[in-house]
Structure 1
Amino acid sequence: MRSVIALAASMLASAPAFSQTLEESVASAMSNNPIIAQQYAKFSAFLKDKRAAEGEYYPSVNLYGAIGYEDTKYNSGDRVDEDLTRKELGVKAVQNLFNGFGTVSEVERLSFEAESERLTLISDAENLALDVTRVYLELLKAQAFLELTERNVADHEQVYKDIETRQKKGLSSRSDLAQISARVATSKSSLIAAKNNLMDKQVEFYKLVGRDAKELIEPKVDQALLPASEQDAITMALESHPEIKAAIADMDAAHKEMKREEADFYPKLNLEVHANHNDDIGGIPGKDQDARVMLTVSYDLYNGGATTARSEASSWRKQEARAIRMRTEQQVTEGTRLSWNAWELQYQQLALLQQNVDSAMQAQLGYIEQFDLGRRSLLDVLDAKVEVFLARKNYIDTYYNQRLASYRLLNATGRLGYSMRVAYPQQWQQKVISHE
């Protein structure tokens, strides 16, 4: 996690004063987000569990010591009747030579589990980057809405002044003045709503990023990384999405768990070394020393069917992991198709909405000219202004939605972090184990 924090700090330090790019916001969010910290801790714990399992490859050495009172009446049938202070000191070393490949399977199982958590960590980071992108673009959109609404209020206030002047000259009626007065009130109400929406987005931005939004810069999508077709998008997603890779690693881990449980069907072979240095043992005063090297074999002949049950349970967990992988692929495919559809259709919408804005502005200018000539009513002019306002608002809304759809498409194909040039820490990028 320190690498992430260093990344964020370096990116923020290189930014122009009072400006904040999308990439900087993503880096800041990753260094402060508790979900990322939680997943990183989980990943690190599995790495330590793996290291603990590797300890079974090495010999275990135990030192034993004891001292206490011993009352012996008989020793091997001979009457001794001695009270002595028994002293024991011994060392035992055991090296496992064979355990049915249980240690190998357990180490590999934990390796796949750690790999799954690593990939889940990357997936969480990708999803966090998308959340930050969404809030960042929504904040830009809220700012654009606010500016548009402010211009709309100023425009209506100017019309009010013009109508007020005309009314004083007897060129407009009181009803015209009342009508524009109502429209000014409506536009100001919309301005308050726009300000409230902007403040809500600023709060959400601070919660996610950990910084106030200052001088946001319009982000640019790396168009070269966007897929050329829906099928290309699906292929990229199935090959690159970290959630699918994590599901595959979970399935491999379940397979290794099954192999670990099957190890109990085999005998266990150990090499044992014992050395003892005792005093006053068994009622016989004096030293009692021995040393031995033994090759021991243990074979569990019957344990109530527990080994078989555990083996069958692990087999079902493997089936569960396979089903989860299939479901993950279905969900990723569905998400990719939805992202592609939104990106493509909203791109087509933009051209039509731009045409709508141009036409609405031309109609407004024409209505104003006709109003000055007495051929249009004030209501016609005000309605035309509303049309222009709504057309511009719809264009802004779709423009930023289409931008977000581009980033969603990159997220669906597992390329969002790469497209932003966000360098994840080296430990995140290094595979724990390769898939079989």
Structure 2
Amino acid sequence: MRLSSLIAAALFSSTAAHALSLEESVASAIDYSPQIAGQYARFQSVLREVDGAQANYLPQVNLYAAAGYEETLYNSGNKIPKDDRGMNRTEIGLKASQLIFDGFKTSANTDRLTYEAESERLTLLSDAEGISLDTTRLYLEVLKAKTIHELTQRNVREHEAIYQDILDKNSKGLSSNSDLAQILARVATAKSSLIAAENNLYDLDAKFMRLVGKPATNLIDPVVDSALLPSSKTIAIKQGINQHPEIQAAIADIQAAREEIRREKGNYFPEFKLEVHANANDNVGNTLGPDQDARVMLTMNYDIYNGGKTNADTEASAWRHEEARTIRLRAEREVVEGTTLAWNAYNMLDQQKKLLKQNVDAAKAAEMGYEEQFRLGRRSLLDVLDAKVEVFLARKSYINTEYDHTLAAYRILNAMGKLTYALRVEYPEQWQAKEQ
């Protein structure tokens, strides 16, 4: 299944080197996902089952035909003469029946499958929400890794510049061998960190390709639509409970379970049908010539005793209803937990960002001061190198927190069941609910 409309809905204007936006990445991941394709197939399968259940409302017409050889040895206790015992027999018959009443089993089964189809459709939307969050998280991880990689490259260049300066001074006798060894060790450490950053970036690129189906090139920093974020955790939880497709799917499952109970209880009632039979046979029962009949009948089929099967099936359906209810309760608790965690992370990381920004500014000021004092001979090389490490780590911590804060905002939207809406990803028409 290719849902190209998903991608088209998320495309932004292209540049010479096309930028892969978060919106386009999410749309591509949904289109590329085997999980989504499988769930869509499941949804379509149940829709066909609904059509099959509704067929019981319509007349059923059956045609029967047969031809062969008949040999009769006895007729009413009398032996048939040898030359009369074999005949060529033909049969053809038509039966039409219309269900009149079956204890509401057909209507209950149709309603049950309709609710199950709606549950599968909502599960499809829930899966899309989950993939949207996974893609968003990976997209931000790649951006963060690229930023840290650039920061690490800058750190290597700065250490190499210091190394070259110390090497020049050492060749002129203005610096000690211990200083040269110290900066050489720091350069090696910086380069090792760069290799680790590159390896992490390669791993994330591979994961991105597997999830999105496109290389993670020319990514751009997304901007969260703050107007969609709730003003309080209470509102976020309320919207999540009322709107999240996973909870809505669980509610549909409960309704389907109720209709299953009603269907099983239908076996307590008799079944009535209007039947029309017409037969045109020939050479039947050792009687030469045609054997034709036609009849219209109202039939009743009433299962008086079936070994307690109806009671057992009804009780089993009642327990499935209870299971569906507990699944709905679990889904609600998961939404409450997910919303709470995301809300707390968003607010705490916002406060942490401000403090880490101060940390970066203070560490940079200290580094510049130490470099100046080193040139005046008032600070050692070790002080300068330690100050650079402090700046590097402060910037790295700020980068991590900044992207984590952005992710927390998207996690809130996901917990509310509106992440794909916030990313302007439109679902195909086949995914929309049919008007009742």
Report the TM-score range of the alignment, normalised by the length of the smaller protein.
over 0.9
Within the candidate set 309, 318, 323, 1:320 is matched to 323
Structure 1 residue identity aligned to 2:70:
E
CA distance in structure 1 between the partners assigned to 2:372 and 2:164 by the alignment: 17
CA distance in structure 1 between the partners assigned to 2:161 and 2:343 by the alignment: 44
CA distance in structure 1 between the partners assigned to 2:429 and 2:410 by the alignment: 24
CA distance in structure 2 between the partners assigned to 1:130 and 1:13 by the alignment: 20
Percent of aligned pairs with the same residue?
Answer: 58
Say whether 1:219 aligns with 2:222: yes
Structure 1 residue identity aligned to 2:41:
A
Displacement of 1:71 in angstroms is 2.5
Within the candidate set 192, 201, 204, 1:201 is matched to 204
Displacement of 1:10 in angstroms is 6.7
RMSD: 1.6
CA distance in structure 1 between the partners assigned to 2:189 and 2:28 by the alignment: 39
User: Which residue number in structure 2 is paired with residue 15 of structure 1?
Assistant: 14
Displacement of 1:417 in angstroms is 0.4
Residue by residue over 1:123-163, the C-alpha shift from the partner in whole angstroms, topping out at 9 and shown as x without a partner, is 11111111111111111111100110011011111111222
Range moving further from structure 2, 384-393 or 276-285: 276-285
User: Which residue number in structure 1 is paired with residue 4 of structure 2?
Assistant: 5
User: Which residue number in structure 1 is paired with residue 335 of structure 2?
Assistant: 332
Within the candidate set 387, 391, 395, 1:388 is matched to 391
User: Which residue number in structure 1 is paired with residue 89 of structure 2?
Assistant: 86
1:410–1:416 CA contact under 8 A, matched in 2: yes
2:138–2:208 CA contact under 8 A, matched in 1: yes
TM-score normalised by the chain length of structure 1: 0.96
CA distance in structure 2 between the partners assigned to 1:156 and 1:72 by the alignment: 109
Say whether 1:422 aligns with 2:425: yes
Displacement of 1:328 in angstroms is 1.1
Displacement of 1:11 in angstroms is 4.8
Displacement of 1:432 in angstroms is 7.4
1:221–1:109 distance in 2 versus 1, CA, 3 Å: same
User: Which residue number in structure 2 is paired with residue 400 of structure 1?
Assistant: 403
Say whether 1:297 aligns with 2:296: no
1:72–1:80 CA contact under 8 A, matched in 2: yes
TM-score normalised by the chain length of structure 2: 0.96
Within the candidate set 244, 247, 251, 1:244 is matched to 247
CA distance in structure 1 between the partners assigned to 2:20 and 2:403 by the alignment: 18
CA distance in structure 2 between the partners assigned to 1:425 and 1:188 by the alignment: 48
Range moving further from structure 2, 388-397 or 23-32: 23-32
Structure 2 residue identity aligned to 1:395:
Y
| Matching of residues 53-92 of structure 1 within 5 Å | 53-73=53-73, 82-92=85-95
User: Which residue number in structure 1 is paired with residue 269 of structure 2?
Assistant: 266
Displacement of 1:80 in angstroms is 5.7
Say whether 1:35 aligns with 2:50: no
1:13–1:288 distance in 2 versus 1, CA, 3 Å: farther
Q: Secondary structure at the match of 1:430?
A: coil
**Matched residues, number:** 432
Q: Secondary structure at the match of 1:88?
A: strand
Say whether 1:350 aligns with 2:325: no
CA distance in structure 2 between the partners assigned to 1:279 and 1:369 by the alignment: 117
1:38–1:55 distance in 2 versus 1, CA, 3 Å: same
User: Which residue number in structure 1 is paired with residue 287 of structure 2?
Assistant: 284
For structure 2, the residue ranges without an aligned partner over 5 or more in a row are: none
Residue by residue over 1:6-64, the C-alpha shift from the partner in whole angstroms, topping out at 9 and shown as x without a partner, is 43257558533432111111111122111011101111100011111111111110000
Structure 1 residue identity aligned to 2:92:
L
1:111–1:432 CA contact under 8 A, matched in 2: no
Q: Secondary structure at the match of 1:302?
A: coil
Displacement of 1:365 in angstroms is 1.0
Structure 2 residue identity aligned to 1:418:
Y
CA distance in structure 2 between the partners assigned to 1:76 and 1:324 by the alignment: 67
Structure 2 residue identity aligned to 1:59:
P
Range moving further from structure 2, 63-72 or 417-426: 63-72
For structure 1, the residue ranges without an aligned partner over 5 or more in a row are: none
